Amino acid sequence: MHRDSGAPLYEFFAGGGLARLGLEPDFACVFANDIEPAKANAYRAAFGGDDMRQGDIWKLKTADLPGQAALAWASFPCQDLSLAGARRGLAAPRSGAFWGFHQLIEKLTDEKRAPDVLALENVTGLLSSHGGADFAALVHALDDLGYRVGALEIDAALFTPQSRPRLFVIAARKAPAHLIASGPCEPFHSQSLRNVVARLPDGLRKRFVWWRLDTPAKRNTRLADLLDDPPPGAAWRSDEETQKLLAQMSPLQRARVDALRESGRREVGAVFRRIRIEHGERVQRAEARFDGVAGCLRTPAGGSSKQMLLFIEGASVRSRFLSPREAARLMGVPEDYPLPATQTAALHLVGDAVCVPVVRWLSHHLLAPLAGAADARKTA
């Protein structure tokens, strides 16, 4: 894929490199790391093999990292922080990999070649994990390394038709006044973020930064705009499977579908199947949204975790699964990005990644100015 010059970048927990897609051309990756062989292979397929080092972050040494990066990006594992996981927090093995990243930055600091800017991405569950204690521990750890720390909660729905709120913790050696807001403001400083910051220890709270980030223009795409028509292959599910899906809806959901059928309009809805407790019993429900936005993409652990599409055209109702390429579009991935060959691998890669336009906006309007990358490109 196309590569451009930019300020040096280290990309940790890199996955398939979707953060890199958003950070270029402000930044140019000189080192990438991921523990999963499949993701490392996908990264190499997209960008070549020179930058990717596959393996456990705890086993990396500072000697493995070339030169001095302007930015270190870390989308550290979210499994122990998300609502879908066990919420064991930063002390658990997977999300605890943050401390492996921290150890590297600490050693680079001792060597006087730590990046000037750190960007960490994770689920918003980090804010509530252990009552906010995990977020406080992360902020404290970065503060101890001499960084000014702030955070933003950004929903991908501002950029693409997918509901995908994520937390971005941004830490910088220097915090220029024009990049700092006087206090929290919409839409990037949610009430949840404000609440957890208010509970930080006094000194840490006073040093916390409310980063200023421009609000993007209103999104002008809907879910239907990113779908293949006709769909690839024999994608349509059988009438029996579609009727079973409709039968799993609550009476309210089914009434909405019936109203759309009676309207005669063509509508496309995104559907997830979830387990709900009703009258003390676990019941699987199909829940659809018809607001032009897909639900948050997830890694496919089974049929219930795969997002489906419901097409309504008058009396006709058809259903199918979201294809890997359609999922990639919802993440802002360009068409020439080489997805893994199998559907499961492709959906896993995309569902466990970061939304490209979100990263690009963050890079242009905050990360590059913090790192001096924008000025460097102007004079290049």
**pLDDT > 80? residue 56:** yes
**pLDDT > 60? residue 84:** no
> What is the dotted CATH code of the domain comprising 7-217+354-379?
3.40.50.150
Instruction: Indicate the pLDDT class of residue 17, thresholds 50, 70 and 90.
Output: very high
pLDDT value of position 268: 96
Instruction: Indicate the pLDDT class of residue 82, thresholds 50, 70 and 90.
Output: very low
pLDDT value of position 148: 97
Instruction: Indicate the pLDDT class of residue 88, thresholds 50, 70 and 90.
Output: very low
CA–CA gap between residue 242 and residue 256 (Å, rounded): 16
**pLDDT tens digit string along 163-184?**
999 999 999 999 999 999 999 9
CA–CA gap between residue 218 and residue 11 (Å, rounded): 30
Alpha helices in the chain (DSSP H): 18-23, 37-47, 98-110, 133-144, 191-198, 202-207, 239-247, 251-263, 324-330, 343-351, 356-362, 368-371, 373-379
pTM here is 0.91
Give the pLDDT mean for 208-224.
96
pLDDT value of position 96: 67
Instruction: Indicate the pLDDT class of residue 363, thresholds 50, 70 and 90.
Output: very high
- 375 against 120, higher pLDDT: 120
pLDDT value of position 274: 82
pLDDT value of position 379: 39
**Which residues of the chain are in CATH 3.40.50.150 domains?**
7-217+354-379
CA–CA gap between residue 205 and residue 150 (Å, rounded): 10
**pLDDT > 90? residue 92:** no
CA–CA gap between residue 189 and residue 212 (Å, rounded): 10
**pLDDT > 50? residue 380:** no
pLDDT value of position 231: 76
CA–CA gap between residue 366 and residue 116 (Å, rounded): 13
CA–CA gap between residue 137 and residue 1 (Å, rounded): 38
CA–CA gap between residue 281 and residue 363 (Å, rounded): 47
pLDDT value of position 282: 87
**pLDDT > 50? residue 259:** yes
Instruction: Indicate the pLDDT class of residue 373, thresholds 50, 70 and 90.
Output: low
CA–CA gap between residue 348 and residue 77 (Å, rounded): 14
DSSP for 312-325, please give it.
Answer: EETTEEEEEEPPHH
**pLDDT > 70? residue 109:** yes
